[in-house]
Every structure is written in structure tokens, then in C-alpha cells.
Chain A
Amino acid sequence: MTAVLEISGLRKTYRSRKGVRNALDGFDMVVEAGQVHGFLGPNGSGKTTTLRTLLGLIKPNDGRMAILGREVPRHLPEVAREVGAIVESPQFFGNFTAEATLSLLADAGGVNRNRVYSVLDLVGLRDRAKERVKTYSLGMKQRLAVASALLKEPKLLILDEPANGLDPGGIREMRTLMRDLSDSGMTVLLSSHILGEIQLICDSVTIISAGRRVTSGSVSSVLAQHTSGAVKVRLEPGVDLMSAAQLLRAAGAQVDMAADHFTVGNASNPAQITKLLADRQIYVTELTPVAADLEDVFLELTGTAPVEGHTRQVDESALTAGQSKGGWGQ
């Protein structure tokens, strides 16, 4: 596969009277052609700075970026025609209609104005095209933003929080649209906090924290790398769960009790569980791995899981890439 987007060693430093803040601290990312790539990170981690830098709105201090094989920002004017983007919240001049907004952009970008109605149709705004943008809800503005990004028929579509403000139906429509665009050969870079959506839509992800990449790869490989190793254990009816749990704890297992089952948290070799219990004539009826989802991985990697009694500040996140956990039973 060819890389549509490559970023390496990207740095952006903001200096103010309060000191120096590294918004991007050697960030790397690669997005392969034809993929829907999720770009995740906590608030203030550098996602929007990365996208703005990539699109020439912010000047980096260091690093290399390339879109469609061409170095940017040097060649950005040439590749801009191939890149559709929305960055952060949709921003339009409120007194213009959606149709006027898009036709002005089409004129500015040298795109045929006939495409305006087809993209408005694509995002479900055709019937409201003649209304002023200031009368639109946030979700409708979001749809208009996506329409503006699609107007150029781009090869690379960069969307920052496209589902922001959308109703559940709209989120599902957006998901379908992303998949359809990807199937048509378009590469989509999707920044979002709706991790369930990312897991459903995306082929691959990059997670950023404190301006650095903490993990990247296909969704399945990222989940596999950060799987919890926990298994859920259910026993024959009538067996004393507590004594079975004690038995495993004595062997070093981390056991969490539930009403009708227990979970072994560090079961890197589940066969040990069945062996230990079977030796005492305790038989297992269910032994299933507890799958980690993207939210778990995200919270673990970025160190942003809520802690009781502690209010996390936006700049509090962690760099935990590459940490491996040992497991019981290996």
C-alpha cells in the first residue's frame, strides 16, 4: 500500500510569557491509501494542531510532512485540490445560504458549481440549501462542512469531529458515508472522540498524547496489543465460587468476584485455570476472554481514565507507549 499521508518528527512549540509549551513533540503518523484512519487523542493532545499544521494554517518548528507523496507545506497549493478538510467546528459566514457558501468555495477553488447540489444531496441538505447558514443547527452546519470538504472530490478527506452535533441517525449516516467514500477509493482521516464509532468505521488508528504518537496500526492489532488478558470464568451450578476463587488467588491470580461468575485479570495462560480447578474436581462451564475495546486502550494509553476523587486537568495525559504487562500463568 502507498502512504497518502506521512508525518515524521513534527514539532510545534508555543512560547508565551507563561513559558514554552510543546504542542507537538516529534509526532509521527502514516495513513495508507484507501483506508479510513482514526486519529485519537485527549483534549489538548495536539490533534487539531497536527491537522492545522498539515493544512498550512500553522507553521511547524520542525519535522517532515507529505500528502500524496508531495512535501507540504511547500507543495500544498498543488495538492490542496486533492484534499478536502474540515478542522474543528464548522465555520461559515452566517448570512449566506448553504448554496451560496458552497458555490463561492467552488469558484475560489476552480470547481464546477454543478457539484454543489450533488454534495448537498449527499449530506442531506438539498432541501435546506436556500436557507441562511445562521439558521442551521450545529448538526446541519456539520453536514455543510462535510459537503464543503467533499466538493472537490478529494483523494484525501480530513475530518475533525465530523459527528459533532449530529443526532444518532446522522451519526449512522455519517458512518455509512465514510465507508462508502472509502470503498470508492478515497482515503479518510477521521479525528473523533466517539471511540465506538472509530472502532466501527476505521481500518487503522493513530493515538496521540502530549504531542507524541503513543500507538498506531490496524484497529485489530492495536486492540490485540493492548488486550487486558482477562478471562471470565463460570462454574457448574452449585459450586462455591468463593473457594474456587481462593484457590486461584493462592496461585497468584487476580480475581474479581461477580454474582454468578468471576474474572481473572492476569490470565495470560487460561489453561492454568482449568487445570487448577479440575485438579480439585471443580469444572468450568465457561471460559471466555474479556475483550478490550478502543475506549479501554485509549484511556490506558493516554492515562486519562477518571480517578475517583481527582479532577483531571486537560494537560494531564500520559505517554505509556511500549509498556508491556506481565501476566499470571505464563
Chain B
Amino acid sequence: MSLARAESRRLIKRRFTKVLLIGLLLVLAAVFAGSWFTSEKVGPSQIAAAKAEADGYYQEALRTAATDKQQCLAAAGTPQAANWPANCDELYTPTREDYDYRWYMPATFDLREDFRNMISVFAVVLAAVAFLIGASFVGAEWNSGGMMNLLLWRPQRTRVLGTKLIVFLSWLVGVSVLLGAVWAGLFRVLAEARGTTDKMTSGVWQSFGLMGLRGLGLIVAAGALGFALASLGRHTGMALGALVALGAVQIGVYVMAGLAGFKYPDLLFTPFWIFAVLYKEWVATDYTSCDYSSVAGCRPDTFTMTWQAGSIGVAAVAVLVVAAALWTMRKRDIT
């Protein structure tokens, strides 16, 4: 218990933790401010203005079509006739449906439709911060010699590293839940003040909650991965280097799989796993299988990666790397 208390204090006292948390808050604040200033409450006056604008464009299109028809008729029997169809009645005449007034409405934040993307932004930004804080929390300890000092006090390697990891992940979950609640509250306020909360049922909120939980899983996995990679390399920079290397390998595998004729290279690319976790599925498409038919159209083969499959992939990578970090902590000499 005393070790957990010491590690909690150490984590919160670290300047890097404070700086990254402030950076995180600034990024989230910028996203929120951007949404706030680009969203506008829609009322009868905005609808009337949109309808008027749509009608204006429609009338202008009609005038242009009429002018075109006159020019077409005038060109008959002259060399200019080649620029027009033989039958000038075939020229397209715009309809009112082509100018739907909704396309001319100001941007408005629809909580039901748009908050999912905000949950994704929140999860991805927090996952990046979690990776960095996790890597630095243990990497700086190795690099500065603090880990060796700690082991002189508590010569229980697995316990020391495990306690550090548990303390960090617990803190991460706490911060994520707290910020997530604030995030949801802010966007509800935004929707009420400058957007819409139409069709918001308890089921929609439940769906947001489940998406938030999947996002939390990603954040925890990213934190654990950063922590474990830095512990394996015994340096914060090793985690970042490993991430860059893994990214390069991922792109290489993705490209090579495509060239080698693998049917769904998307399945080997972890960003799509993350997409599947957040948005419940990722549909991988084999465009080479598309056999175009004028009757049936183009219907390529697809494979749907479910959020369960994506979650298992992300969790397996995190668990494997953490297990490797704990094993090397136990086995390797500390010099």
C-alpha cells in the first residue's frame, strides 16, 4: 500500500504529467471552441434564409438553362451546332428538388449525430497522451536511475513494476472518466445553446456510454503499451522509437499484403482495428473483386471487422507487450 501511495505521489508530482495534462486540456478546449464557433442554432429565420438562398440558386439555374436553350436553337445549321445536342429539348432543365434548402442551412451541432465523432476525438487524443505519460512515467525512472534506487528499497521487481503500472492505469481511468463526463456535459450545453438535442433518447445516451467505454479501453491499452515499451527499452525514447518503427512496419505490411494479393489488407492495419472498436465495425472492401454489371452494378466483396474482433486485437497486443515487460523486469540484470 505504501508503494502504491508513493507511486501515486510520484506520478502527480512529475512535471511531464502536468505539462501533458495541460496540453491535453488545451487541445480539447480548442476542439470544443471550434465546434462552438462553427455551430449556430437553427430557427424559422435561418430556415427562411436557407429557402430563399436555395430558391435564388434555383432561379439562376433556370435562367442559365433557358439561355443555353436559346443558344442551342440559334446555333442550328451553323458550325457552332457541334457544341450542342441535335435535339435542344434534351438539355437539362433544373428542378426545385435539385436545390434542397437544407443544404444552405448554417452548420449546427446535432448531438445525436455529431457527438460520436467527438467521443472518437476525445479517445484518440487521450490515448496519445496516455501513451506518452505512461512511457515517461517508467522511462524517466529507468533513465535517471530512480528505478534502481527504488529497487534498493523494495527488492521485488515484478511487484514494483506491477504497482507502478496499476497506479498509472487507475489514475488514467479516473482522469478519463472525469474528463469524459465534462466533455459530454460541454457538448450537451453546446447542442442546447447552438445546436440541437432532437431525438435524444435514453438509448442514444446508452449508445454514447458504450462507445465511451470502448474509447476508455483504447486509452488504457495505449497507456499500458507506452509504459511497457519504455520499460522494455528502459528509456522513454525507446517507446517513441518503437512506436515509429511499428508504424513503419505496419505501413510496410499493409502495402506488401496489398501487392501480394491478400484479399483484405485492412485487417492487418491496426488503425482500422481502432476504428472498429470506436464505431463498432470496419468494413474492409476488396475492390479487385468488383465485377461491374449494368444490371447489378458494382458489388465488391466485403469483410466486416466487428468491435469485438478489433478489441481482441488491441488487447492482445497490449497484454503481450506488458507481459514481455514484466518478464524482462524479472529476468534482466539491472546495471
Contacts and interface: CB of A to CB of B under 8 A. Distances in A.
Given A87-B152, A91-B145, A93-B146, 5 more contacts: A52-B334, A58-B333, A59-B333, A91-B149, A108-B153
A56 B156 CA distance: 9
Given A91-B144, A104-B10, A109 B2 contact: yes
Contact of B2 (A56, A58, A110): A110
A107 B9 contact: yes
B15 interface: yes
B152 A108 contact: no
Contacts of A55: 151-152, 155
Interface in B141-178: 141, 144-146, 148-156
A36 interface: no
B5 interface: yes
Nearest to A110: B2
Given A57-B334, A92-B144, A92-B149, A104 B9 contact: yes
A162 interface: no
Interface string A90-112: 01111110001000110111100
A148 interface: yes
Interface of A: 52, 55-59, 73, 76-77, 80, 85, 87, 91-96, 100, 104-105, 107-110, 148, 152
Contacts of A95: 14-15
Contact of B155 (A76, A91, A100, A105): A76
Interface of B: 2-3, 5-7, 9-10, 13-15, 140-141, 144-146, 148-156, 333-335
A62 B137 CA distance: 35
The 10 A-B residue pairs with the shortest CB-CB distance, nearest first, are A91-B145, A107-B6, A108-B6, A56-B155, A57-B334, A109-B153, A110-B2, A58-B333, A76-B155, A93-B144
Contacts of A110: 2
Contacts of A52: 333-335
A65 to B, nearest CB: 13
B155 A77 contact: yes
A57 B151 contact: yes
Given A77-B154, A93-B141, A57 B148 contact: yes
Contact of B152 (A59, A73, A80, A96): A80
A108 B10 CA distance: 10
Nearest to A59: B333
B335 A57 contact: yes
B152 A85 contact: yes
B146 A91 contact: yes
Contacts of B144: 91-94
A105 B146 CA distance: 10
**Chain B interface secondary structure, helix, strand, loop or mixed?**
helix
A76 B10 CA distance: 24
Contacts of A100: 13
A110 B155 CA distance: 13
Given A108-B3, A108-B6, A58 B334 contact: yes
Given A76-B155, A104-B9, A57 B149 contact: no
Contacts of B2: 107-110
Given A57-B333, A58-B334, A92-B145, A108 B154 contact: yes
Contacts of B152: 55, 57, 80, 85, 87
A173 to B, nearest CB: 23
Nearest to B1: A110
Contacts of A96: 13
Contacts of A104: 6, 9-10, 13
Nearest to A80: B155
A100 B9 CA distance: 9
A95 B15 CA distance: 8
Nearest to B150: A108
A107 B140 CA distance: 19
A97 to B, nearest CB: 10
B149 A73 contact: no
Nearest to A132: B15
A101 to B, nearest CB: 9
Given A104-B10, A110-B2, A87 B148 contact: yes
Nearest to B149: A91
Contacts of B155: 55-56, 73, 76-77, 80
Nearest to A96: B13
23 contacts: A55-B151, A55-B152, A56-B151, A57-B148, A57-B152, A57-B334, A57-B335, A77-B154, A87-B148, A91-B146, A92-B144, A92-B145, A92-B149, A93-B141, A104-B9, A105-B149, A107-B2, A107-B3, A108-B2, A108-B7, A108-B154, A110-B2, A152-B153
B162 to A, nearest CB: 14
A56 B158 CA distance: 13
Nearest to B331: A59
Nearest to A14: B333
A33 B227 CA distance: 42
Contacts of A77: 154-156
B293 to A, nearest CB: 63
A77 B158 CA distance: 12
Contacts of B154: 77, 80, 108-109
B21 to A, nearest CB: 16
Nearest to B5: A107
Contacts of B10: 104
Contacts of A58: 333-335
Contacts of A85: 152
Most buried by A among B5, B146, B149: B149
A107 B149 CA distance: 13
Nearest to B2: A110
A100 B15 CA distance: 13
Nearest to A151: B153
Name the residue in A52, A104, A110 with the highest tally of chain B Cβ atoms < 10 Å from its Cβ.
A104
A191 to B, nearest CB: 15
